Amino acid sequence: MSDEANVLAQSYIDHPEKVKKLYKRTLMIVVISQMFGGAGLAAGITVGALLAEQMLGTNAFAGLPAALFTLGSAGAALLVGRLSNRFGRRMGLATGFITGGLGAVGIIFAAMLNNVFLLFIFLLVYGAGSATNLQARYAGTDLATNKQRGTAVSVAMVSTTVGAVAGPNLVDVMGKVAHSIGVPELAGPFILAAAAYILAGLVLFALLRPDPFMIALKINANKQSTESKEVSRKNPINKGIAVGAIIMVLTQIVMTAIMTMTPIHMGHHGHSLRAIGLVIGFHIGAMYLPSLLTGILVDKIGRSAMAIASGVTLLLSGVLSAVAPGDSLVLMIIALSLLGLGWNFGLISGTALIVDSTEPSTRAKTQGTVDVFIALSGASGSAMSGMVVAGSSYETLSLVGGILSLILIPVMIWSIGSKKVMKNKEMREL
């Protein structure tokens, strides 16, 4: 940090009330950027598979677009994490969002040229927006206390709802806009995505000053100069990172696999593009809208309880998706809403565990690395989902996904048991 930056950081160390004000201001800026970011995220989820099916002429690879932009988000998560760790959240998040916006522009041109090769390339680039949308949830936690972390994550996520729910319900409108300017209708939502991601990046670049991560680094360095007990906590911290990562990876696999093939499944049962957009809108709303309540529950009743709730909710979603008649719009809305809610429980509880288990000096880099695994798991779930449905059925995919989510229960029982053993060991040493 420069001398000027050190002086600025010291002013926050000397005046804790300034830290509280910066924490609140950071949350407000993240909220604004996430409103735009959510709209950018929704385009790929809603029409990505349909666009690929149209261009490829088969649904066997309909899960490939989601796999590609999720794979792209894996690389972007690593890059955004590294940039944030070195230069702060402002630079990392702004770069990620703007890159995602440029990827959306590329997808529009690929659709206009009917060039599948270009489509696949720009889907990878577009994935940077998805990765950044997830990474932004960490920005609000940099200056949060232990009892505020779940809530801080939830504030960032719930703000995504505005754009994420509006996006799918603008599919028809954006399709007409695209058609009027000579762009294929299914590429229309990517026009919205391009504008939304770029705006999100510009908001963060212009307003996220001073950078909360850099201030948090300085505050932590000051604390460590008076404390010397961090080394003894190394093993439990690593275990917390592993458990948090498992929660988020597993929920991501189940959610993306079922979500990716739902538009295709509905299309085959005669649902209109508007109906598909409605279902995905409810799904994304359930992913983000309950976040404020989820964050409070994560902080109040604990990370482990909410992770178990995630597994149970995803199981209910998988079973309902499997048994619901394909032409029932109401049951599809309920099933996909449960899918989003289960993911929400898992992501917020897992994120809180990761923040609890990392030190500021390496936090952003570790968070980026964990998000790489989340993205790769999502890419795997998306890619395999199309093959499973082509080889078997959507019902089989949903049921397997629901059963897989139950793995969270033994993982959390093991985690709770490990904490008790560690606590007993520390008591004996005292």
Question: Of 294, 322, 288, nearest to 306 (Cα)?
Answer: 294
In this prediction, residue 305 carries a pLDDT of 93
In this prediction, residue 233 carries a pLDDT of 46
Phi, psi dihedral angles at 137 (to 5 degrees):
-65, -25
Annotate 236-277 with DSSP letters as a single string. Answer: HHHHHHHHHHHHHHHHHHHHHHHHHHHHHHHHHTT--HHHHH
In this prediction, residue 12 carries a pLDDT of 77
Which of 18 and 160 is assigned the larger pLDDT? 18
* pLDDT tens, position by position, 233-265: 444 457 888 899 999 999 999 999 999 888 888
Mean pLDDT of 351-380: 86
Annotate 184-196 with DSSP letters as a single string. Answer: -GGGHHHHHHHHH
In this prediction, residue 231 carries a pLDDT of 45
In this prediction, residue 425 carries a pLDDT of 52
In this prediction, residue 104 carries a pLDDT of 92
* pLDDT tens, position by position, 278-305: 898 889 889 888 988 999 999 899 899 9
In this prediction, residue 59 carries a pLDDT of 64
| pLDDT band of 92, cuts 50, 70, 90 | very high
C-alpha distances in Å from residue 205, one per residue of 96, 102, 202, 344:
11, 16, 5, 27
* Cis amide prior to 360 (ω within 30 degrees): no
- List the structure tokens of 83: 């940039």
* pLDDT tens, position by position, 21-79: 888 899 999 989 988 888 887 766 667 777 877 787 766 666 677 678 777 888 888 89
In this prediction, residue 2 carries a pLDDT of 59
User: Which range in 75-79, 114-118, 119-123, 314-318 is most confidently predicted, on average pLDDT?
Assistant: 314-318
Percent of the chain whose predicted confidence (pLDDT) is above 90: 32
Predicted confidence (pLDDT) at residue 18 exceeds the cutoff of 90: no
| pLDDT band of 230, cuts 50, 70, 90 | very low
Predicted confidence (pLDDT) at residue 188 exceeds the cutoff of 60: yes
Mean pLDDT of 186-199: 90
In this prediction, residue 102 carries a pLDDT of 96
Predicted confidence (pLDDT) at residue 6 exceeds the cutoff of 70: no
Asked which of 69-73, 103-107, 214-218 is least confident by mean pLDDT, the reply is 69-73
Radius of gyration of the chain (CA): 21
Mean pLDDT of 171-180: 84
| pLDDT band of 20, cuts 50, 70, 90 | confident
- Contact between residue 100 and residue 72 where contact means Cβ atoms under 8 Å apart: no
Predicted confidence (pLDDT) at residue 97 exceeds the cutoff of 50: yes
Which of 401 and 384 is assigned the larger pLDDT? 401
Average pLDDT over the chain, rounded to an integer:
84
Domains annotated on the chain, with CATH: 3-219+230-421 (1.20.1250.20)
User: Which range in 4-8, 167-171, 330-334 is most confidently predicted, on average pLDDT?
Assistant: 330-334
Which of 151 and 421 is assigned the larger pLDDT? 151
| pLDDT band of 146, cuts 50, 70, 90 | confident
In this prediction, residue 246 carries a pLDDT of 93
Q: How many CA atoms lie within 13 A of 374 on its CB side?
A: 33
C-alpha distances in Å from residue 258, one per residue of 317, 344, 403, 417:
9, 15, 12, 32
Predicted confidence (pLDDT) at residue 114 exceeds the cutoff of 70: yes
